Structure 1
Amino acid sequence: MFERLTPTDPDAILALMQAFQADPRPGKVDLGIGVWRDADGRTPVFSAVKRAEKRIWKRQETKTYVSFRGDAAFHEAVSNLLLGPATDGQWRAASATTGGTSAVQTALTLARAAHPDLRVWIPAETWPNHWVLARSLGLETRSFAYIDPDTQEIDRAGLLRDLDRAQAGDVVLLHACCHNPTGADPDAELQAAIVASLARTGAVPVIDCAYLGFGATPEEDSAFLRRLSTLPEVLIAFSGSKSFGLYRERVGLCLALADGPQARDVVENHLTRINRVTYSFPPDHGARTVTEILGDQTLRTEWQDELGSIRDAITTHRARLSEALRMRLNTDRFDRLTRQKGMFAMLPLGEARVAELRNAHGIYIVGAGRINMAGVTEETCATVADALATVLR
């Protein structure tokens, strides 16, 4: 049987990680993998997480299964974090998942169960795994415009033109905040226009929320989600990897907003079935840690402060690189870095320049120009800016 298998295409980020690790040059810089690292190159555990885990360890007396859909307290805690406390008119169904990737897959699987012939509309610039997940489920995919190649800003007219082509039963994949890979988020006016387009067409948003708190406070970063939640049906895929630093715990939640209690009950039934045939019972430790933090004001404040420190560092990195490129290239076209949010930014490099950066300068970048701003520290900024200026001249 296995002799019939042929190798699949290697994962680009994994291949880049391996190449970086094998590179013996002392001045190499990793701007690739989407993980937060501090100035020392570490991805530290949040102190609020450690304190929460210690509490759980002291009082937990069993490791038995929770339920196929995970712990209801976790569902409520994350739902309230993203959307605010539920009211009688907000019919929600939720299911814990094995991370944010699995939450996206669960959302798409649920949508396929409702509309087997649906189309998935995906931003032209997005996390590559969005395409992989949709196509692995056999779903038809369409792209919609996102970034204008000339201005490197959001193509507002093109985006709305393409979204108006969606139909009832289709799903539109959106980023809640801190767009990966561009860092360019819709402003309030464009957010409202997107919601209006979805209301007209009847397409359902699937919102990937992987970087809450990396662009602004969690409350501010959830603004787009809350605007979208006014629609009759919404699917949200939440990840706790970045926002809580729980990368290896695989904390995720698929949250559905249904149009009434009867629809919610049917959705809950399907989410239970999807979990059952995928991984049966979802993991609980990371989810319980998040619940502990969000349910205790002291821990919650501590977490928000730590998240704010990461956000401030990213903002500083953006300003530092923007100024360094302005000085070296005598242009203001990289000032947009300071207007963008989150860990990522796209530079107009292309594959040839990315290869030159890697081979000649030891600067490792994903794809055709996505950079992780966490790697642009005070120590590395000059090296990165010099290399970028060389290939961009």
Structure 2
Amino acid sequence: MFEALEHLPQDPILQLMQTFRADTRPDKVDLGIGVYKDDEGNTPIMTAVHEAERRLLEGETTKSYVGPAGAAGFNDAMARLILGDGNSLIRDGRTSVIQTPGGCGALRMAAEFLRLCQRDTTVWVTTPTWANHMPLLGGAGLNIREYPYLNRETLTVNFSAMLDTLKSAKAGDVVLLHGCCHNPSGADLTLDQWQVVAELIQCKGLLPFVDMAYQGLGEGLDADAAGLRYLAGQVPEMVVAASCSKNFGLYRERTGALVLISATEAINKAATSQLLSVVRSHYSMPPAHGAAIVETILDDDELRAEWQLELGGMCERILGLRHAFADALAPVGDFGFIARQRGMFSFLGITPEQVGRLREEHGIYMLESSRVNVAGLNERVLPQVASAIRSVM
């Protein structure tokens, strides 16, 4: 049976990671893999996470299953983190949250649930978008359409083209939006633009589906969620996929959450029962450890304050790197868009050939599209990277 299978090419990001590891040059720089790095080039374990794990190891009494919905405490804490404390949607029972294996698990379970609601569901995604959106959503059987998002010349949001295309969407179609820190461009909607999008979604009868993978790494926890929260308050139904990989540094723990918002409490209960049936038929129950860490942090005032302080430092560091990077590239062009964008990623707007020269001649690794992980820079390597980019331009 297996002999009929063809060999598939490796994922470009994973291939880049493998090539980087095989490079023996001591001054090589990885700007491709999307993980946060500190000034020493490490992906650290956050102090609050260390303390939460210590408490869990000392107090944990069982390794029993947590159930398909995951831990109730984690789900409640994530609802408040995403939608805000005291949000009426939570109070009125219109919201439910399930714990998932990472943001990827949330995206895929949402896609399976949406296909259950309507077998020929169409989901509109940004061009460009995170590469894994396509297999996660399309693999569940959703029809994928694309809407223009990034102006390739200015590397800013092409808002008029976005609206013009979404006006052709049909009632019941799903619109995938990046909550903040757009991956891969770093170009985010303003709050005013979120309000216009909300009006269009209401007018057309569309379902918003927000991917919130980087809350806290753009401008702060509340500022990053402002657009999502506004939209949630305007529409009868909404889906949110959230990840704890970046803002808690829990990459390998695969911790995420899927939020359903329904028109009424009764509808929400029915929808959640269907969603849990989908979960049961796929991975049955989520892993517990990462969610227990998040719950411990968010439910303890001291740990939460420590976590928010450290997360705020990460956010400020990325913003500082953006400004420094743009300034360092100024001699060869206007790279001010890097300073205006948010989150970990930006496109440099250089050619694949120039990206190849950076890798071969200078040991600087980024995706062929010129997407760079700004958080992979630090004060030591930034001058080296900027000099190499100037030389290939």
TM-score between the two structures when normalised by the length of structure 2: 0.96
CA–CA separation in structure 1 for the residues paired with 2:382 and 2:238: 41
1:199 is aligned to: 202
The CA distance in 2 between the partners of 1:238 and 1:149, in whole Å, is 28
Q: Which residue of 1 aligns with 2:126?
A: 123
Post-superposition offset of 1:138: 2.3
* SS of residue in 2 equivalent to 1:120: strand
Number of matched pairs:
389
Partner of 2:151: 148
CA contact (8 A) 1:124 1:145 kept: yes
Match of 1:294 in 2: 298
> Which residue of the partner structure matches residue 99 of structure 2?
96
What displacement does 1:25 show?
A: 1.4
Inter-partner Cα distance in structure 1 for 2:101 and 2:358: 35
User: Which AA in structure 2 matches 1:298?
Assistant: E
Shift of 1:156: 1.1
Query: Runs of 4 or more off by more than 3 Å in structure 1?
Result: none
Q: Aligned residue for 2:336?
A: 335
Q: How does 1:303-314 map to 2 (within 5 A)?
A: 303-314=307-318
Q: How far did residue 373 of structure 1 move? A: 0.5
Percent identity of equivalent pairs = 40
Q: CA deviation at 1:320?
A: 1.2
CA distance in 2, matches of 1:375, 1:289: 25
Contact map agreement 1:351 1:368 (CA 8 A) in 2: yes
Give the secondary-structure state (helix, strand or coil) at the position aligned to 1:128.
coil
Q: Is residue 2:266 matched to residue 1:262? A: yes
Report 1:1-393 matches (<5 A).
1-84=1-84, 85-87=86-88, 88-89=91-92, 91-230=94-233, 231-326=235-330, 328-329=331-332, 331=333, 333-392=334-393
C-alpha contact 1:99 1:252 (8 A) present in aligned 2: yes
Is the Cα contact below 8 Å between 1:90 and 1:257 reproduced in 2? Answer: no
Which amino acid is the alignment partner of residue 58 of structure 2? K
Q: For residues 92-120 of structure 1, what are the alpha-carbon distances to aligned partners after superposition, in whole Å with 9 as ceiling and x for unaligned?
A: 12211100011111111111111111111
Distance 2:9 2:100 in 1: 26
Residues 93 and 267 of structure 1 are in contact (CA less than 8 Å); yes or no, is this contact kept in structure 2?
no
Q: Is the 8 A contact 2:186 2:346 kept in 1?
A: yes
Gaps of 5+ in 2: none
Residue by residue over 1:249-280, the C-alpha shift from the partner in whole angstroms, topping out at 9 and shown as x without a partner, is 11011110011122111211122112111111
- Distance between the aligned counterparts of 1:391 and 1:162, measured in 2? 36
Supply the RMSD in Å over aligned alpha carbons.
1.2
Supply the AA of the counterpart residue of 1:196.
E
- 2-structure distance, mates of 1:338, 1:36: 18
Kindly state the Cα deviation for residue 123 of structure 1 after the two structures are TM-superposed. Answer: 0.2
Partner amino acid, structure 1, of 2:357: E
Identify if the C-alpha distance between structure 1 residues 89 and 161 changes in structure 2 by more than 3 Å, giving closer, same or farther.
farther
Report the residue type matching 2:167 in the other structure: D
Per mean C-alpha deviation after superposition, the further-off stretch among 84-93 and 116-125 is 84-93
Q: 1:367 and 1:286 mapped to 2: Cα distance?
A: 33
Q: Distance in 2 between matches of 1:27 and 1:48?
A: 32
CA contact (8 A) 2:99 2:286 kept: yes
- Whether the 8 Å CA contact 1:94–1:271 is kept in 2: the answer is no
